[in-house]
A and B are shown apart, each in its own frame.
Chain A
Amino acid sequence: EVQLVESGGGLVQPGGSLRLSCAASAFTFSDHFMDWVRQAPGKGLEWVGRIRMKANSYSTEYAASVKGRFTISRDDSKNSLYLEMNSLNTEDTAVYYCARVSMVRGSPLGYWGQGTLVTVSS
C-alpha cells in the first residue's frame, strides 16, 4: 500500500528555518511528481508547491506566499521528498502534508501523508 510519512515538524521561532521530510514507500517514487499542501489550524487547504521528476529536470512550482522562502527538493535514491523552509513567520504555522501526484489527466493528488505540524512562535 502506498505510504507517505512526513517528519521534521516542530516549534520554531519567527525568522527561523526548518526542513520537513516525506518518506515514500510501496510505489516507484521517481516516477511521480510530488506536492506539498498545508493547512493552518482550523483553516482550509493551501497548495504550497510541486516538484517534477528527473525527466522534467526536477523543475518546481511554488505558491506566491512561499516563493523565495521555501524550496522543494527530492532524493529519488532515498525515496524522499523535502521542504526547506526559511524566514518563517507566524502565518506559516500549519500542518504540512506531502502528496503524490496521480499520473492521470489533471494530475490530482491521489495519496496524502498524515501531515506534520509546524508551529512558528516566539
Chain B
Amino acid sequence: DIQLTQSPSFLSASVGDRVTITCRASQDISDYLAWYQQRPGTAPKLLIYTTSTLQGGVPSRFSGSGSGTEFTLTISSLQPEDFATYYCQQLISYPRTFGQGTKVDIK
C-alpha cells in the first residue's frame, strides 16, 4: 500500500498568512494526488485533484504543486473560513490511502 505522510500535523497561523502543507508518498504517484478540506463537524470537501487542478468553486488562494513523491498545498492568504483540517489522498492505486491530516488552527 502507498503511505502518505503529511507535515506538519498541526500548524498555528494568523489570518493573512501564507500556509504550506506537505504530503510525501512512499512511492512515485506521478501527479495522482488530491487535497480535501474538512471543517469541524462537516464532511470533507474536494479542493484540488491531479496535484494542481482546482475543483470548481474553490477560491484561487488555494494551489497545489509537486510530482512523484512530494506535494504541497499552499494557501496564499489564510482566511477565517480556512481554519480546518486538510488531507491528501493518492489516486493512483488501491487502497486509495489518505494522509493523516494537517490541522490549521488560529494563532
Chain A positions near chain B (C-beta within 8 angstroms): 35, 37, 44-47, 50, 61-64, 97, 102, 104-110, 112-115
B100 and A105 contacting across the interface, CB-CB below 8 Å? no
B89 and A47 contacting across the interface, CB-CB below 8 Å? yes
Among B16-24, B38-46, B75-83, the one that faces the other chain is B38-46
Contact pick for A64, options B42, B87, B95, CB 8 Å: B95
A44 and B50 contacting across the interface, CB-CB below 8 Å? no
**Count of interface residues, chain B, beta-carbon cutoff 8 Å:** 26
For residue B100, give the distance in angstroms from its CB to the closest CB of chain A.
5
**Chain B interface mostly helix, strand, loop or mixed?**
loop
Once A47-B95, A47-B98, A61-B95 are accepted as A-B contacts, the answer to whether A113 and B43 lie under 8 Å apart by CB is yes
A115 and B34 contacting across the interface, CB-CB below 8 Å? no
Q: Known pairs A37-B44, A45-B44, A115-B43. 9 more at Cβ < 8 A? A: A44-B87, A45-B36, A45-B89, A47-B89, A64-B1, A105-B50, A106-B91, A107-B91, A110-B55
A102 and B96 contacting across the interface, CB-CB below 8 Å? no
- A97 to B101: give the CA distance in the assembly, Å: 17
A45 and B87 contacting across the interface, CB-CB below 8 Å? yes
Which residue of chain A lies nearest to B96 when distances are taken between CB atoms in the complex? Answer: A47
Which residue of chain A lies nearest to B6 when distances are taken between CB atoms in the complex? Answer: A44
B101 and A106 contacting across the interface, CB-CB below 8 Å? no
For residue B56, give the distance in angstroms from its CB to the closest CB of chain A.
9
- A107 to B32: give the CA distance in the assembly, Å: 9
- A113 to B1: give the CA distance in the assembly, Å: 26
For residue B94, give the distance in angstroms from its CB to the closest CB of chain A.
5
